[in-house]
Amino acid sequence: MGLIIDEEEERDDVVLVPPTNFSMVEDGIYRSGFPQPSNFPFLETLNLKSVICLCTEPYPQENLEFLQSHGVQLFKFGIEGTKEQNIPRETITEALKILIDVRNHPVLIHCRRGKHRTGCLVGCLRKLQNWCISSVFEEYKHFAGTKTRSTDLSFLEAYNVLCLKRCLYSIIYQYHGYGSKKRRLLYKQESVLKPQIKSI
Catalytic site residues?
111
- Distance in angstroms (rounded) separating the CA atoms of residues 159 and 120: 10
How far does the chain reach from its first CA to its final CA, in angstroms? 49
- How many other C-beta atoms are found inside a 10 Å radius of the C-beta of residue 170? 8
Is residue 161 within 8 Å of residue 127, measured between CB atoms?
yes
φ, ψ for residue 28, nearest 5 deg: 90, 0
Is residue 123 within 8 Å of residue 87, measured between CB atoms?
no
Alpha helices in 100-200 (DSSP H): 116-128, 133-144, 150-158, 162-167
DSSP 86: P
- Distance in angstroms (rounded) separating the CA atoms of residues 8 and 2: 10
- Distance in angstroms (rounded) separating the CA atoms of residues 45 and 5: 21
**CA–CA distances in Å: residue 191 to residues 3, 104, 147:** 42, 12, 41
